[in-house]
A and B are shown apart, each in its own frame.
Chain A
């Protein structure tokens, strides 16, 4: 244990920049990015709920900020991230079950999650704006 404090020089496994970017790989990266975005986005949810609980004045400020064009843009992005991460999770359930792992099936599932998340986001905003 004499050399216990010297960090061992271990070989590094190749990372992102070494591989050709594929759709499944991009979706995997986006799954993590949307997860991280949703993580910090929960601040918006907590602030909104606290504003409602605090009363009319605080709610007025929150409603004005969230209803502004910038607020709506962020919330639109949050909606997409939420749906995309949710569909990505369902994709992982399918793969966890050992299904859909052939090359054409992988591509189909990945495209379906992308199209599905955009469709669900637009649908939700159209209904909310009715």
Chain B
């Protein structure tokens, strides 16, 4: 690449190619990878929920206790909260102009995703390991 003599970017920064946000294309890429995982996991999730329709407590526990179903549900929840946190981050960055409010919203976004993830994982583990 021919370097313009007037460029203020250092050669090192140009080689790293991470741009002004210092993260390059990683947000975009993580959104795609978690999205690809979720295409598969969504089908497993919907099948599980379909089998739980109208179930009593014993059946719900037995279904979620099965290792395959449990692992698929854990994977769905983890990939899901990661993917949705990235997605909501973009929405906040697009629509919240004030820096302060944006910062608070981004923080709440992380807290929300973490809370949903932790509650779901805790519940799934409690169902699988002991109840």
Contact = CB atoms under 8 A, between A and B. Distances in A.
B13 interface: no
B87 A35 contact: yes
Interface string A1-19: 0000000000000000000
Interface in B55-114: 55-57, 60-61, 64, 73, 77, 80-81, 84, 87-88, 91
Contacts of A83: 42, 46
A69 interface: no
B64 A52 contact: yes
A118 interface: no
B120 A49 contact: yes
A90 B42 CA distance: 13
B32 to A, nearest CB: 7
B119 A79 contact: no
Interface stretch (B4-12, B15-23, B122-130): B122-130
Most buried by A among B36, B57, B61, B81: B57
Interface in A44-84: 45-46, 49-50, 52-53, 55-56, 59-60, 63, 67, 79, 82-83
Nearest to A7: B97
Given A79-B46, A124-B50, A46 B120 contact: yes
Nearest to B115: A46
A86 B87 CA distance: 13
A48 B88 CA distance: 23
A128 B39 CA distance: 20
A43 B77 CA distance: 11
A67 B39 contact: no
Contact of B88 (A39, A82, A86, A129): A39
A75 to B, nearest CB: 8
Interface of B: 32, 35-36, 38-39, 42, 46, 49-51, 53-57, 60-61, 64, 73, 77, 80-81, 84, 87-88, 91, 115-116, 119-120, 122-124, 126-127, 131
Q: Closest 3 CB pairs between A and B? A: A49-B123, A53-B123, A128-B50
Given A86-B38, A93-B36, 6 more contacts: A39-B87, A42-B80, A52-B60, A82-B46, A83-B42, A129-B53
